[in-house]
Homo-oligomer: A and B are copies of this chain.
C-alpha cells in the first residue's frame, strides 16, 4: 500500500475532489507513484481523509479520464504507464556529459568516443560473475581497501609491466571508479597550490575537470613531437598533463627525445610531476607497442593513469593510477580516508577476467576488428578525399584529417551533417582563441562503425570536401 501524505484544506476555495486529484496527479507526474502501483480504495481514502466517497470517486474519475490511472475490475485502481515521464528522462539521457548540441539523427557517426560493444565477451563475463557470486563470499560485500583489492592491484601491476613497461608495485596502484574520480583524488593528494599545463589542443574533458580544481590551469603549444618543453618551462607550471602514447586529439606519438626532455623538466624542481594519461594505448597497428612515459621515469615523477573503459567497456567503471612513491606517502597519510569507489564484486570479476586470459583474448580480437576498420578508413580517405592529408594513423581509435581547401572547419562539419555524416572538428579541443591561421582539421573515430559504414560514410563525405 502506498503511503499518503495528503492533507485537505477545506478553506482553500478549491473543491476537495480537485485537491485529491491534484495531489495524486502530482505524485504520479513526479514519479512518487510508479507504474503498476495500486491506489488506496475509494472507501479507504474517503475514511482516511474524512470526506464522502463520492468526492473520492470524482477525483479518481478525473484521473481515469485523463489516463493517469486505470481501473481493474475487482482489483482497484492502478497507476498507468506514463509516456511523458519517460520522455522527460530520455531527453535527459541524451544531453551528453559535454553539454553538446541537441541530438540529431546521423547515419554515420565518426565519434572518437565510442567503442564497439557487440564483440564484448558477454558469455565469459556472465560466467565469471556467476562463479564470483557462487560461493557466498560475504567478504565481497564488506568494504575493501581504499586503494582497491590487493589481488586486482597485483594483476593490474603485472599487466602494466608486461604490456606498457610500467615499473611499479601493487602498493603504488590506486583503483577508482573512472578517471574523473581519480583526478578528483589527485587534487587532494597534490594539494591546492598547483599550476598545471596541458597540451593545446587537448582532451577538453580533462581540461574542464582541472578548471574545477583549486589549481591554476594553463596550456602549452605543441609542435610535431608533442608538448613544447621551452614553453612548459616558461609557463611556470609544476604539473604537466600529457598523452605521450597517442595524444588526443592530434594522434601524435611523442618520440623518446621529447619524453626525456619532459622528464628532465620534472626533475628540475622537487614538486614537479607529469600526469601521463595512457587512455587508448592498447590499440596500435604499426610496429611495436611504445612503452609508457612512466617506463622511462627514473626519478619517481610520473603519475600514470589508465582505464578499462576503452579496452573493455565504458560501463566498467574501473580506472587506475600509479602513484610515485613520494606521492604514495602523501596519499596514505592524508587521503586514505576516501573509501574505495569500486564494488569488490566488480573488482573480483575484473581480476579473474584479466588473470585468466579473457582480457588478452578480448584485446586481440578487438585489435583485429579495429585494425580492419582503421585500414578501411585510411584507404577510403586516401582514395576518395581530395585536398586532405592524414595524421595520427598509427594507433588509437581515431585519425586526423587536415583539410587544405577553401571551406572552414565549421562549414565542413555542417555540410557533412546535411548528408547524415557526423564528423568532429579539432577546434573543439582547442583551448582559448583559435589562431588566425587555423587549419581546418577533422577528427574521425572509427571504433563504432563497421567497414561498409566507414566506406559509405567517407564516400558521402567526399561530396562535401
In the complex, what residue of chain B is closest to A120 when comparing beta carbons? B141
Check A314–B143 contact: CB distance below 8 A.
yes
A140: Cβ under 8 A from any B Cβ: yes
Find out whether the CB atom of B143 lies under 8 angstroms from the CB atom of A133.
Answer: no
A315 touches B31 (CB 8 A): no
Q: Which of A235-291 contact B (CB under 8 A)?
A: none
A181 on the B face (CB < 8 A): yes
A208 near B144 with CB under 8 A, answer no
| Contact present for A44 and B309 (CB under 8 Å) | no
The reply on A361 being an interface residue by CB < 8 A is: no
Q: Please pick, from B85, B158, B162, B341, the residue contacting A177 in the complex, using a CB distance under 8 A.
A: B341
Are B177 and A313 closer than 8 Å at their CB atoms? no
Binds B, one of A62-70, A87-95, A449-457: A87-95
Q: A158-B32, A337-B209, A342-B317 are in contact. Are A143 and B177 (CB under 8 A)?
A: no
Docked CA distance A346–B12 (Å): 46
Q: Is A169 interfacial (CB 8 A cutoff)? A: yes
Q: Is A98 part of the contact surface with B, judged by Cβ < 8 Å?
A: yes
A89 to B389 alpha-carbon distance, docked (Å): 52
Who on chain B is nearest to A136 by CB?
B122
Of the residues B97, B161, B315, B342, contact of A337 by C-beta under 8 Å: B97
Instruction: List A135-168 residues whose CB lies under 8 Å from chain B.
Output: 136, 138, 140-147, 150, 154-155, 157-158, 161-162, 165, 168
Contacting pair B184 A89 (CB below 8 A)? no
The residue of chain B having its C-beta at the shortest distance from the C-beta of A163 within the complex is B3
Complex Cα–Cα for A140 and B129 (A):
15
Least distance between A50 CB and chain B CB atoms (Å): 10
Q: Is A61 an interface residue, CB under 8 A from the partner? A: no
Binary interface encoding of chain A residues 27-55 relative to chain B, with 1 for a CB under 8 A from any of its CBs, else 0: 00011111000000000100110000000
Tally A residues with Cβ within 8 Å of B: 98
Q: Is residue A438 contacting chain B, with contact meaning CB distance below 8 A?
A: no
Contact: B144 with A31, CB < 8 Å? no
Q: Is A336 an interface residue (CB 8 A)?
A: yes
Q: Are B93 and A150 in contact (CB under 8 A)?
A: yes
Minimum CB distance partner of A140 in chain B: B315
Write the chain B residue with the least CB distance to A127. B133
A214 to B188: give the CA distance in the assembly, Å.
Answer: 10
Nearest CB of B to A449, in Å: 15
Question: CB distance B338 to A209 under 8 Å?
Answer: yes
Distance, CA A386 to CA B338, complexed state (A): 39
**Cβ B339 vs Cβ A98 within 8 A:** yes
Closest 4 pairs (CB-CB, A-B): A177-B341, A89-B150, A141-B313, A143-B314
A-side interface residues toward B, CB under 8 Å? 1-3, 5, 9, 11-14, 30-34, 44, 47-48, 85-86, 88-93, 95, 97-100, 117-118, 120, 122, 125-126, 129-130, 133-134, 136, 138, 140-147, 150, 154-155, 157-158, 161-162, 165, 168-171, 177-181, 184-185, 188, 192, 205, 208-209, 212, 214, 309, 313-317, 332-346, 355
